Amino acid sequence: MATDQNKLVKEITSRDVDFAKWYTDVCKKAELMDYSDTKGFIIYRPYGYAIWEGIQQYMDKEFKRTGHENVYMPMLIPESLFMKEAEHVEGFAPETAIVTIGGKEELTERLIIRPTSEVLFCDHYSKTVSSYRDLPKKYNQWCSVVRWEKTTRPFLRGSEFLWQEGHTIHATEAEARKEVLDMLEIYKNTGRDLLAIPFVTGKKTDKEKFAGAEETYTIEALMHDGKALQSGTTHYFGTGFAKAFNITFQDKDGVLKNVHQTSWGLSTRLIGAIIMVHGDDSGLVLPPYVAPVQLMIVPIQAHKEGILEKAYELRDRLQKQGIRVKVDDSDKSPGWKFSEAEMKGIPIRLEIGPRDLEQNQCVLALRYNGEKLRVSLSDLDSELPKLFERIHQAMYDAAMENVLKNTRPALSFDEFVDIINNQGGYVKMMWCGDRACEDLIKEKTSATARCIPFEQEHLTDVCPVCGKKAKHEVYFAKAY
């Protein structure tokens, strides 16, 4: 058993030896993804895709609960349409994939594979909205987008990724601004309630905001290696796009006005966040509510009478309760099965053998901390939901502790550089608001402003970089 187990585990690099290598090892060995023949494009394998489906189901319900409707826009955008909003073009044009041939013929107008769909929504809205009665429109789309990336990493940066993009238009600025913050709240709660990831939330600096947005808000997560991961953003556009695309409506007062617009998106990057926040040297560790398999039943001495039958009976019983259960009835050894379940981060492993059967009990092994419990089979139905809740909370707390432990104030720029280079994590520092200081920080340390947090502390009176009056407290970090 031990040999088996070591064999599989040994195949992944230790997290503290080479974090980048450990990450791709987990992606591959947990069978989340595979590389494809299309350079920079990955294959989402069943287990990885199932995690995304879990996120989708959860968020889609939240979007619908808050009055959003799903739509589907074309995958291809005529170049002339794409070019209508200047800042947007500048931001996205360098990384587009362009179709020039269709049905064996050179196209008269080139078509861009959507890197994001603002312009398509704008065009549709401009044609379908005319009165305040038509507002708000709160649309969302689940799709994939293509952005030509030079260096790629599974889930974190790829030439194609899966995401949702929300696009809404409103009669008033206040309503649009509320939408942007409401959706950020939903994103943040998804971290808290589904992924067991505490997000730091706040506003992006102008340098880091979305191409074409007036304001961008973000949820930032801290990975085990001390780097931050931007995990979702929401944008307030003001009337910029509305003016470029002529989206107008006649208001109650009879006046023709431009709509106020938002967009917000969240992607399969979150799978990367789950891996790098919770994973360990045995592989993936999944929080129970997003785990495709929450409980893996491993029969011990499966050939003995009644063992396999009991395993199936338990599975059927627990499935009826809504728990996602599987029985590993393959012809592998139990030790091998244990390692596989560990690699895949299945929250609880249930072992049942002849002696357990006699005593009407089983062993539960918790993936996140290795704890083992003996539980009566009669108590299983009531114990498991409580255990899932406990595991989820403990994983969230551990992640939160990591954030708190690795968030440090810097009162001088020297201190800032020292922390960034030697400790990592978030560094909180006051900032004058000038792009020049932000650029200098990036140049010297490669750290970027992750966000201007909603809850502002006052650390120093001046910006430690330039000595001018401080405007905001900012969270800086090296980031993916």
Distance CA 354, CA 356 (A): 5
Place of tokens 């029985």: 327
Q: Which is nearer to a second copy, 154 or 198 (CB)?
A: 154
Q: 99-113: buried (b, 16+ CB within 10 Å) or exposed (e) per residue? A: eeeeeeeeeeebbbb
State in angstroms the smallest separation of the CB of 303 from a second copy: 18
Backbone angles phi, psi at 128, to 5 degrees: -110, -10
State in angstroms the smallest separation of the CB of 462 from a second copy: 41
Binding mask 278-317 for a second copy (x = CB under 8 A): ----------------------------------------
Distance CA 361, CA 338 (A): 19
Q: Which is nearer to a second copy, 147 or 224 (CB)?
A: 147
- Say which DSSP state 192 is in: I
Distance CA 227, CA 174 (A): 35
Of 19, 41, 132, 312, the one binding a second copy by CB under 8 A: 41
Looking at residues 397 to 416 of the shown chain, list those that interact with a second copy (rule: CB under 8 A): none
In this structure, what token pair is assigned to residue 48? Answer: 């990885």
* 395 touches a second copy (CB under 8 A): no
Binding mask 98-117 for a second copy (x = CB under 8 A): xxxxxxx-----xx-x----
- CA 412 and chain centroid, separation: 33
Distance CA 400, CA 409 (A): 17
* 376 touches a second copy (CB under 8 A): no
- Residue 171 vs residues 135, 251, 257, 260: alpha-carbon distances, Å: 6, 8, 8, 6
Sheet strands (E) in 122-271: 137-146, 160-170, 200-203, 215-222, 228-238, 248-250, 256-258, 260-267
State in angstroms the smallest separation of the CB of 55 from a second copy: 13
Backbone angles phi, psi at 331, to 5 degrees: -90, 20
Of 16, 18, 34, 439, the one binding a second copy by CB under 8 A: 34
Q: Which is nearer to a second copy, 45 or 177 (CB)?
A: 45
* 160 touches a second copy (CB under 8 A): yes
State in angstroms the smallest separation of the CB of 385 from a second copy: 22
* 89 touches a second copy (CB under 8 A): no
Of 8, 59, 77, 451, the one binding a second copy by CB under 8 A: 77
Instruction: Please tell me the count of residues contacting a second copy according to CB under 8 A.
Output: 58
Pairing of strands 33-35, 42-44: antiparallel
Write the CB contacts of 8 (distance below 8 Å, at least 6 apart in sequence).
29, 336, 339, 340, 343
In this structure, what token pair is assigned to residue 386? Answer: 């409580």
State in angstroms the smallest separation of the CB of 76 from a second copy: 5
Backbone angles phi, psi at 216, to 5 degrees: -125, 135
| Contact assessment for residue 318 and residue 348, using Cβ atoms and an 8 Å cutoff | no
* 194 touches a second copy (CB under 8 A): no
Looking at residues 119 to 158 of the shown chain, list those that interact with a second copy (rule: CB under 8 A): 120, 123-124, 127-128, 133, 139, 143-144, 146, 148-150
Of 97, 398, 459, 466, the one binding a second copy by CB under 8 A: 97
State in angstroms the smallest separation of the CB of 301 from a second copy: 21
Stretch that binds a second copy, among 42-50, 230-238, 302-310, 431-439 (CB under 8 A): 42-50
Name the site residues for a second copy (rule: CB under 8 A): 34, 36-38, 41-46, 49-50, 52-53, 69-78, 81, 93-104, 110-111, 113, 120, 123-124, 127-128, 133, 139, 143-144, 146, 148-150, 159-160, 162, 330-331
